Amino acid sequence: MSVVLGIDPGLASTGFGVLETNGNRVRRITDGVIRTPAGTDYGERLVMLYDGLREIVERHRPGEGAIEELYFSKNVRTAFPVAQARGVIILLLAQCKVPFEEYSPGAVKQAVAGHSRAQKEQVIRSVTMVLGLYDEPVNDHSADALAVALCHVQHAPVRAALARAAATR
């Protein structure tokens, strides 16, 4: 049994999703969004993100983490504040000894919706179906975070095989 924390990093809204896997079974434990108000001092927003995520990690003690990579927009200036927030997330996982993998948005969409250019709605629908969340609609950021965690779970057999191959070489 393993607890996986998926993260969709952002400055204003960081989605998180916690899954429990047991063999071929996957169950959602929780999901949500850490929000930092736009008018707030930038450093203070990073502290809010750090503290919010720390609480999630301490409560659920994930054994593995999965973070979505940054989408490269043409406007680098707007990407930097998010990259900086992402640094805070990675710091926290490392401080809490949670090993993590990073996945591109395309890989995440491929994993949950079957192709790398799936629309947001398709991702939400797939996540809802796979995790059986029909009664509790998940929002965008939550769905993305759960999708990253699902992507990580899906890659587990290949990761394990690679680890075995590396160990026996």
Binding residues for its own copies (CB under 8 A)? 41-44, 46-47, 50, 70, 72, 76-77, 79-80, 83-88, 90-91, 93-95, 100
Q: How far apart are CA 128 and CA 142, in angstroms?
A: 11
Select 104 or 139, whichever has its Cβ closest to its own copies: 104
Q: Residue 87 Cβ, how far from its own copies at the closest point, in Å?
A: 3
Select 15 or 65, whichever has its Cβ closest to its own copies: 65
Q: Residue 54 Cβ, how far from its own copies at the closest point, in Å?
A: 11
Select 93 or 131, whichever has its Cβ closest to its own copies: 93
CA dihedral angle for residue 92, residue 95, residue 100, residue 104, rounded to 10 degrees: 30
- CA 168 to chain centroid: 31
Select 9 or 131, whichever has its Cβ closest to its own copies: 9
Q: Residue 14 Cβ, how far from its own copies at the closest point, in Å?
A: 12
Can you give 8-42 as a three-state secondary structure string?
Answer: ECCCCEEEEEEEEEECCEEEEEEEEEEECCCCCCH
Q: How far apart are CA 40 and CA 55, in angstroms?
A: 21
